[in-house]
């Protein structure tokens, strides 16, 4: 294997709002796998779910507040400026053009997202543009057959592969996720209950000041 490449990881989501589950997962992945950069990538208009109801600017502002004082995690705002549905393949094509082929790009996702990958826009192009880092929870089932199982059989690799190649590998990593979801946070606030200790205090203050998620 040749020299190691610079490694950039992306962690995409709606972040409506960002919470400690997202932040811990991103930080642990960066530290455990040794990525040079871990970028949180808020989507403008998610491709496979309803409109978030909270503006892209507000979701971005909350992420920026959450990342204050955490130099290990950065914010990549490129999807927010794009009109129409946010497709990961467009983002990765843009990024690849910007960075060239001598950089290793990894897109991080949960196993649930990997199982749904064949529904993503131009999904077969994704491994040509980036590696996929897939976080599994203890006890989760890997697919046995179908397109994703075939992709895994072809592409499964290690962190050494990811450091040495620009794209094309799938790394499976078992990690315990904090049991927090943005849906539960929105529901708590909507019912007038407290969401304290589930997300950064600064983000909670922003939600209160802007009266977000009130039913």
Ligand X SMILES: Nc1ncnc2c1ncn2[C@@H]1O[C@H](COP(=O)(O)OP(=O)(O)OP(=O)(O)O)[C@@H](O)[C@H]1O
Ligand Y SMILES: O=C(O)c1ccc[n+]([C@@H]2O[C@H](COP(=O)([O-])O)[C@@H](O)[C@H]2O)c1
Interface with ligand X, residue 182, by CB under 6 A: yes
Question: Is residue 155 part of the contact set for ligand Y (CB under 6 A)?
Answer: no
The three-state secondary structure class of 7 is strand
Which of 161, 201, 157, 191 has the alpha carbon at shortest distance from 23?
A: 201
Residue 104 partner contact from ligand Y, ligand X, none using kind-dependent CB cut-offs of 5 to 8 Å: none
Q: Would you give the binding string for ligand X spanning residues 20-39, x where CB under 6 A is met? A: -xx--x--------------
The helix, strand and coil proportions of the chain, stated in percent and rounded to the nearest 5, come to 40, 20, 40
Binding mask 88-127 for ligand X (x = CB under 6 A): ---------------------xx--x--------------
Output the DSSP codes for 154-203.
Answer: HHB--HHHHHH-SS--EEEEE-PPPS--HHHHHHHHHTT---TTSS-HHH
Return the residue matching tokens 């078992």.
174
Verify binding: residue 106, ligand Y, rule CB under 6 A: no
Closest by Cα among 7, 12, 21 to 40? 12
> Which residue among 177, 187, 188, 202 contacts ligand X (CB under 6 A)?
177
**Where along the sequence are the contacts to ligand X (CB under 6 A)?**
13-16, 21-22, 25, 109-110, 113, 177-178, 180-183
**Where along the sequence are the contacts to ligand Y (CB under 6 A)?**
12-14, 41, 43, 46-49, 86-89, 113, 120-121
């Amino acid at each position: 294997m040749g020299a190691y490449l610079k490694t950039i990881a992306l962690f995409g989501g709606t972040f409506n709002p960002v919470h400690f589950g997202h932040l811990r997962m991103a930080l642990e992945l960066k530290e455990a796998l040794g990525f040079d950069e871990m970028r949180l990538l808020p989507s403008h208009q998610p491709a496979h779910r309803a409109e978030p109801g909270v503006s892209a600017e507000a979701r971005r502002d909350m992420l920026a507040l959450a990342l204050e004082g955490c130099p290990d995690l950065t914010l990549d705002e490129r999807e927010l400026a794009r009109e129409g549905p946010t497709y990961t393949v467009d983002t990765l094509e843009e990024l690849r053009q910007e960075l060239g082929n001598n950089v290793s790009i990894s897109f991080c996702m949960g196993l649930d997202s990997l199982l749904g990958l064949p529904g993503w826009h131009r999904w077969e192009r994704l491994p040509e543009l980036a590696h996929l880092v897939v976080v599994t929870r203890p006890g989760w089932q890997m697919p046995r057959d179908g397109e994703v199982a075939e992709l895994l059989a072809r592409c499964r690799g290690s962190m050494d592969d990811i450091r040495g190649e620009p794209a094309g590998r799938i790394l499976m990593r078992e990690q315990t996720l904090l049991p927090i979801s943005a849906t539960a946070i929105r529901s708590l606030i909507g019912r007038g209950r407290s969401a304290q200790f589930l997300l950064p205090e600064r983000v909670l203050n922003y939600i209160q000041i802007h009266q977000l998620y009130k039913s």
